[in-house]
């Protein structure tokens, strides 16, 4: 297959390019970082890029939580206008296969259960609670502490920040494109991706990258909240492999199929900081109690559908992956 990889010069995109090539496919990179004329918002450039490709793997986006609401225009422009331009070009050129870099952020706080009220959906955490060090979301009905469960693909969307909103809109646009053209769209809703070439030293980088940069400066990783917030850290090579199987398999034409893409092994942010600090030889993490509005407490999804339907299986374990990451590029 000849595959256009938007964002192919980025962290995850560059691993997708490698994985495609290793499987004998041809990957064509389309990324402003590699070529200033390769902007997904530029209809003429995108129209040229999609001629004679069999599929598009859409990784290009502005990522992260951002630095304030002022970033909203740029997020919407790159992520949603960019996706619309890309899909319109694919519709025009007859390209019918899309794999989208989706995200777990579309679920917001995810799935929780109250001992009394069953499955509930807590709203954003109150500033007063966060200030008081009460980090666990509470039952919206009775106020009891909740237990976090695994989020399935059918969980209702509940984006909590601008970035999350744009990732959800990318899926809706892709679904509309698939319906309108008979195309096949897969959204891989990635968890926290980490590994070699992870962006560093930008306010948009992921938490594993912040910790590693601190360690490299000889400083302790600063763990927010109480360190017990759970995430699913999935290795970038496993995410790249998921993209390859999704590109090869496609999806039922005329719609979008979403797959949670995680290791299936949740860990706390505190455990992750410790693993990196150990691998680096210290200093040990400090738990600061700080918080960021817009962060969710626990994000742990059920990634079994990707395994059962597409035969994908993560290969890089947490301890091994963090050891490698602590000392990688
Ligand atoms: N890293 C994660 O943990 C994570 C989690 C969930 C989803 N994602 C998604 O994965 C995808 C890849 O993210 P990443 O972590 O590799 O980030 P990244 O910043 O390393 O890669 C994104 C790439 O997109 C390119 N790009 C940005 N705007 C562009 C534009 N207008 N035209 C062309 N290229 C453009 C950038 O130059 C960059 O190389 C994104 O869609 C992101 O939303 C990432
Ligand atoms: Zn309750």
d(C-alpha 177, C-alpha 159), whole Å = 21
Please count the CA atoms within 13 angstroms of the CA of 263 that sit on its side-chain side: 21
d(C-alpha 328, C-alpha 280), whole Å = 11
Nearest to 312 by CA among 266, 228, 216, 247: 247
Burial of 289 (0-12, 13-18, 19+ CB in 10 A): middle
Asked if 300 contacts 266 with a C-beta cutoff of 8 angstroms, the reply is: yes
Atom of ligand 1 nearest to the CA of 104: 6
pLDDT computed for residue 277 by the predictor: 97
d(C-alpha 312, C-alpha 326), whole Å = 26
Q: Which residues contact 186 (CB under 8 A, 6 or more apart)?
A: 98, 99, 100, 246, 249, 250, 251, 256, 257, 258, 259
Asked whether residue 329 carries a pLDDT value surpassing 80, the answer given is no
From the CB of 171, is ligand 1 less than 6 Å away?
A: no
Q: Which ligand is nearest to the CA of 146?
A: 2
From the CB of 80, is ligand 1 less than 6 Å away?
A: no
Ligand 2 centre distance from Cα of residue 13 (Å): 42
Asked if 190 contacts 239 with a C-beta cutoff of 8 angstroms, the reply is: yes
Average pLDDT over residues 94-106: 97
Atom of ligand 1 nearest to the CA of 10: 39
Asked whether residue 204 carries a pLDDT value surpassing 90, the answer given is no
From the CB of 170, is ligand 1 less than 6 Å away?
A: no
Average pLDDT over residues 49-56: 97
C-alpha separations of 100 from 183, 185, 309, 319 in Å: 13, 7, 17, 28
Asked whether residue 228 carries a pLDDT value surpassing 90, the answer given is yes
Label residue 210 by pLDDT band (50, 70, 90). Answer: very high
The tokens for 113 are 């259960």
Asked if 325 contacts 272 with a C-beta cutoff of 8 angstroms, the reply is: no
From the CB of 32, is ligand 1 less than 6 Å away?
A: yes
Asked if 322 contacts 273 with a C-beta cutoff of 8 angstroms, the reply is: no
From the CB of 223, is ligand 1 less than 6 Å away?
A: no
Q: Which ligand is nearest to the CA of 84?
A: 1
pLDDT computed for residue 13 by the predictor: 98
Average pLDDT over residues 79-90: 98
d(C-alpha 272, C-alpha 85), whole Å = 38
Label residue 109 by pLDDT band (50, 70, 90). Answer: confident
Label residue 124 by pLDDT band (50, 70, 90). Answer: confident
Mean pLDDT of the chain: 94
d(C-alpha 225, C-alpha 219), whole Å = 18
Asked if 263 contacts 191 with a C-beta cutoff of 8 angstroms, the reply is: yes
Average pLDDT over residues 248-254: 95
Ligand 1 centre distance from Cα of residue 142 (Å): 40
pLDDT computed for residue 153 by the predictor: 96
d(C-alpha 202, C-alpha 84), whole Å = 27
What does the pLDDT look like over 8-42, one tens digit per residue?
999 999 999 999 999 999 999 999 999 999 999 99
pLDDT computed for residue 206 by the predictor: 84
Pocket perturbation via mutation, ligand 1, pick of 19, 37, 60 by most ligand atoms within 8 A of CB? 60
The tokens for 108 are 């917001």
pLDDT computed for residue 64 by the predictor: 82
Place of tokens 């995680």: 262
Asked if 147 contacts 230 with a C-beta cutoff of 8 angstroms, the reply is: no
Nearest CA to ligand 1 atom 21: 10
Asked whether residue 314 carries a pLDDT value surpassing 90, the answer given is yes
Ligand 1 centre distance from Cα of residue 284 (Å): 31
Asked if 191 contacts 231 with a C-beta cutoff of 8 angstroms, the reply is: yes
d(C-alpha 29, C-alpha 137), whole Å = 42
Is the N-terminal amide bond of 261 cis, ω within 30° of 0? no
From the CB of 137, is ligand 1 less than 6 Å away?
A: no
Label residue 280 by pLDDT band (50, 70, 90). Answer: very high
Ligand 1 centre distance from Cα of residue 132 (Å): 35
pLDDT computed for residue 214 by the predictor: 95
The tokens for 73 are 């225009």
Q: Which ligand is nearest to the CA of 99?
A: 1
From the CB of 11, is ligand 1 less than 6 Å away?
A: yes
pLDDT computed for residue 110 by the predictor: 77
Asked whether residue 211 carries a pLDDT value surpassing 90, the answer given is yes
Backbone angles phi, psi at 108, to 5 degrees: 60, -135
Q: Which residues contact 246 (CB under 8 A, 6 or more apart)?
A: 99, 186, 188, 259, 310
d(C-alpha 135, C-alpha 116), whole Å = 20
pLDDT computed for residue 203 by the predictor: 67
d(C-alpha 242, C-alpha 15), whole Å = 11
Ligand 1 centre distance from Cα of residue 12 (Å): 7
Label residue 139 by pLDDT band (50, 70, 90). Answer: very high
Nearest CA to ligand 1 atom 26: 60
Pocket perturbation via mutation, ligand 1, pick of 5, 7, 170, 299 by most ligand atoms within 8 A of CB? 7
Torsion of CA 268, 200, 194, 41, to 10 degrees: 120
Nearest CA to ligand 1 atom 1: 193
What does the pLDDT look like over 141-198, one tens digit per residue?
999 989 988 899 999 998 988 999 999 999 999 999 999 999 999 999 999 999 999 9
């Amino acid at each position: 297959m000849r595959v256009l990889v938007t964002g192919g010069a980025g962290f995850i995109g560059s691993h997708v390019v490698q994985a495609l090539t290793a499987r004998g496919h041809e990957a064509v990179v389309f990324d402003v970082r590699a070529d200033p004329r390769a902007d997904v918002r530029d209809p003429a450039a995108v129209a040229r890029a999609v001629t004679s490709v069999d599929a598009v793997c859409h990784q290009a986006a502005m990522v992260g939580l951002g630095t304030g609401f002022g970033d909203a225009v740029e997020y919407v422009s790159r992520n949603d206008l960019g996706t619309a331009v890309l899909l319109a070009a694919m519709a025009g050129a007859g390209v019918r296969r899309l794999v989208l870099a989706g995200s777990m952020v579309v679920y917001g706080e995810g799935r929780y259960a109250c001992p009394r009220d069953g499955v509930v959906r807590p709203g954003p955490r109150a500033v007063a609670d966060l200030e008081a060090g009460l980090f666990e979301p509470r039952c919206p009905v009775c106020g009891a502490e909740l237990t976090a469960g695994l989020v399935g693909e059918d969980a209702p969307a509940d984006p909590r920040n601008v970035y999350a909103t744009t990732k959800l809109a990318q899926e809706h646009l892709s679904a509309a494109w698939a319906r309108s053209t008979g195309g096949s769209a897969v959204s891989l809703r990635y968890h926290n991706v980490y590994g070699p070439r992870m962006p560093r030293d930008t306010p948009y980088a992921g938490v594993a990258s912040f910790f590693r940069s601190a360690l490299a400066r000889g400083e302790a990783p600063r763990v927010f909240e109480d360190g017990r917030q759970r995430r699913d850290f999935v290795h970038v090579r496993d995410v790249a492999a998921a993209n390859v199987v999704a590109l090869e398999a496609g999806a039922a034409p005329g719609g979008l199929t979403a797959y949670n893409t995680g290791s299936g092994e949740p860990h706390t942010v505190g455990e992750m900081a410790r693993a990196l600090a150990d691998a680096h030889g210290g200093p040990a993490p400090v738990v600061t109690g700080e918080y960021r509005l817009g962060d969710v407490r626990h994000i742990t999804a059920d990634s079994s559908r990707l395994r059962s339907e597409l035969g994908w299986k993560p290969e890089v374990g947490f301890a091994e992956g963090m050891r490698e990451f602590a000392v990688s590029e």
